[in-house]
Amino acid sequence: MHTVLLNEQTIKSILQSGGMTLEEQLSLKTESAVLKVRRAETGSFILRLYTQEVAACRAMEWHDCEGFPQVYRTYSEEGVFVVEEEFIDGVSLAEMLEGGARMDEGRTLQIAGKVCEALAFLHDKGFIHRDVKPEHVLITPDYRIVLIDMDASMRLEAGRKNDTQLIGTAMYAAPEQFGLTRSDTRTDIYATGILINEMLTGHHPAVQQYRKGRLGRIIEKCTKISPDDRYQTIGELAEALHDAAGESTKGKSRKFRKIILTVTAAICVLTFAFSSGVNDAEELVTPEVPVSNKNAEAEKYNTTTVAYAEGTDWLQLYKYDWMETTGYVHRDGGQHARYYTQDGTLVDNTFDFWIDESIGNVEYWYAAEKGWEIRSIGCEIGATGYIHAQKDGKHYAMEIQVMGESFSVYTALPDLRDMTKNYVPTYSVDWVQHGYYIDMEYDRNEPLTLYLALMRLDDVVPSCRSEYVEIKPYDGEVFWDWPVFEMTFYNPDGGDVIFEVESWALDVGFTFTEKK
C-alpha cells in the first residue's frame, strides 16, 4: 500500500466509490480518519481510514466478542486501508468521569471485568490494544461495555526487543511503550490498572492512587514499572478482580466472561421480553375459568375484571399462563406473550391483531415464540385499553393496564389500585444519550427506604454491591401481585453516591445527592 495523505478529496472519493453518505466527521488526521457514514440499505456505521494497514482490524472481521464493535469489512481503496465498523450508540467512560461520575467498588469491578474479557479475546487473536483508556471504553444503554479504537494495536511477536513504533497515550502507556522493552499483553494490564484507579478516584494514580483493600493492591500490581512484577496474563487479572468481588454472580461462570454487567450513570433499563412456557399451541388446555367470573386476584385488590367490554359483543381473550381477563404491561420495552381465545385457539398471525393507542402499539408477530410483540414505551402509568383479536367474524378482547417499568421504584409500598402514587420517575441525565436513571436527594443523618417493585419476575432477587445499600424481601402485606423488595440507603459520611441495583432481567441506576 503506497503512502497517501488523508485529505478531503481522498475521503470524498472513497465515500462516493462505496455509495456512502457522510453524517459526521469524528476525527481527521493526516494518517487516519474516523467518520460516521450511512448507506441507504444498511443504515449508519463507522468508517475508519488509515494510511497503513491495521492488522488487528482485519483479524477481527465478523468476530464474536461483544466487547468490541463488529468489523463488517476491511479493504483497500485508493491506497487507503478502509474499515467498515459497527456504530456504537453509547457514552464514553471519559465523558462520564469528566461529568463527575465516580464508581463504587462493585461497579468498578464489573466494568473492569468486561474490559478484561475484551482484552482476553484480542490477546487470543495474537494482538494487544496498547491504548486502553476511558475515552476508548463506551457504555451503551443496553449494558454493553465496548472497547474501541485499534489504531495503536500491535501484533504479538516473540523475539523483538522493543516496539517498532512508540504509540499510545502518554498517561496510560506502560514504560515499555517508550522503547525500554517490547510491549506485550502486560502492557494492556498496566493501562487497565490506571483505568480502574480513574473509575474509583477520577484521577491518574500519579495524582491520587486508590489504596483501599484488594482493589488498591490490584491497581498497585497492575502499574508496576517492570512487566515481570505485574499480572502476567489478563486472565490472572480477571481472577484477581473476581476474588476482590467476594462472590460470583449467581448462575454465572467463575470467570468474568459470563458476568452480567452493571454499568455507570450511562445505564438505561434493559428492554425485557417475556413469554409463556407453552411450546406448541396443541399443548394448550382450554381454560376452565368461567368467562363471566371475576378474577380472584383482581377482587383481592378491589378492582373489577370484566369478561365483556361494556356495550360491545366482544368475546374474551386470555393470556394462557395466567388465565387472566385483565393484564398488565410495563412501559420500558417490548413484551411478547401468547394470547388465546376463550375456546383455546392460539391467536397467531392469521388473526387481525391490534391494541388501543392508550396502551401502546403492536410491533410484530414473533413466530419463534408464537406470541405478539407489543410496546408501551411512553404510555401513561395507569392507562387502560384493550388488546384485540379478530377472525371469522368474531372479535375477542382483553383489558390491559399500563404499569411503570418492569422494575419500578417507589418511596412507599406500591399499590395496584393506584400505580402512580409514590412512584419515582425515571429520566436521562444530560451526559447519557439514552436510558432510564433515577436521581434522588438524601439526608446523611437518616436512612432512606425505597421499595423495588418487580413485574412478572418471580425468580428475580435484586442485589447491590454498594456498601451504603441493603436490600431484603418485603414480607408484609402489600397490594402488589409480584415481588417487592425493601431497599435501605444510608451514608453517614455524606457526599454524592452513584450505584446500581442489578437483577437477572435488568438493572436500575441511582444517583443519590446529599441535601444541602
Could you read off the pLDDT of 421-455 as tens digits, one per residue?
Answer: 999 988 754 433 334 678 899 999 999 999 998 87
- 37: three-class secondary structure by DSSP: strand
Residue 216 predicted with pLDDT over 90:
yes
Mean pLDDT of 96-124: 89
Q: Is the same domain home to 412 and 391?
A: no
Question: How would residue 393 be classed by pLDDT, with cut points 50, 70 and 90?
Answer: confident
Q: Is the same domain home to 167 and 311?
A: no
Q: Is the same domain home to 14 and 105?
A: no
For residue range 321-375, list pLDDT tens digits in order: 434 445 778 887 667 777 888 777 888 999 999 989 898 888 888 777 778 888 8
What integer pLDDT is reported at residue 397 of this predicted model? Answer: 86
Give me the chain's average pLDDT, please. 78
In degrees and rounded to multiples of 5, residue 199 shows phi and psi of -65, -35
In degrees and rounded to multiples of 5, residue 113 shows phi and psi of -60, -40
- Domain count of the chain? 4
For residue range 119-153, list pLDDT tens digits in order: 999 999 999 999 999 999 999 877 789 999 999 99
DSSP labels, 74-117: EEEETTEEEEEE-----EEHHHHHHTT----HHHHHHHHHHHHH
Residue 418 predicted with pLDDT over 80:
yes
Residue with cell 418487580: 454
What integer pLDDT is reported at residue 314 of this predicted model? Answer: 67
Whether 240 is covered by a domain: the verdict is yes
Q: Is the same domain home to 397 and 412?
A: no
- End-of-domain residue from the set 61, 85, 109: 85
Q: Is the same domain home to 123 and 250?
A: yes
Question: How would residue 278 be classed by pLDDT, with cut points 50, 70 and 90?
Answer: very low
Whether 274 is covered by a domain: the verdict is no
Distance (Å, whole) CA 124 – CA 119: 8
- Residue 378's domain comprises 281-402
Residue 179 predicted with pLDDT over 70:
no
Whether 267 is covered by a domain: the verdict is no
Q: Is the same domain home to 231 and 303?
A: no
Whether 203 is covered by a domain: the verdict is yes
Residue 302 predicted with pLDDT over 80:
no
Q: Is the same domain home to 426 and 337?
A: no
Distance (Å, whole) CA 456 – CA 329: 10
| CATH number of domain containing 41 | 3.30.200.20
Distances (CA, A) of 186 to 54, 195, 241, 333: 21, 14, 16, 41
Which one has a higher pLDDT value, 416 or 342? 416
Rg (CA), the chain: 27
| CATH number of domain containing 315 | 2.60.40
% of the chain at pLDDT higher than 70: 77
Residue 261 predicted with pLDDT over 60:
no
Q: Is the same domain home to 302 and 416?
A: no
Q: Is the same domain home to 122 and 226?
A: yes
Q: Is the same domain home to 63 and 212?
A: no
Whether 415 is covered by a domain: the verdict is yes
pTM: 0.51
Whether 2 is covered by a domain: the verdict is no
Across 189-193, 299-303, 311-315, the highest mean pLDDT is recorded for 189-193
- End-of-domain residue from the set 335, 369, 402: 402
Q: Which conformational region is residue 435 in: left (phi greater than 0), alpha (psi within -120 to 50 degrees), or beta? A: left
Whether 270 is covered by a domain: the verdict is no
C-alpha cell at 121: 479475546
Q: Is the same domain home to 247 and 116?
A: yes
Q: Is the same domain home to 69 and 108?
A: no
Q: Comparing 166-175, 178-187, 307-316, which segment has the lowest mean pLDDT?
A: 307-316
Q: Comparing 180-184, 197-201, 274-278, which segment has the lowest mean pLDDT?
A: 274-278
Whether 266 is covered by a domain: the verdict is no
- End-of-domain residue from the set 48, 65, 85: 85
- 252: three-class secondary structure by DSSP: coil
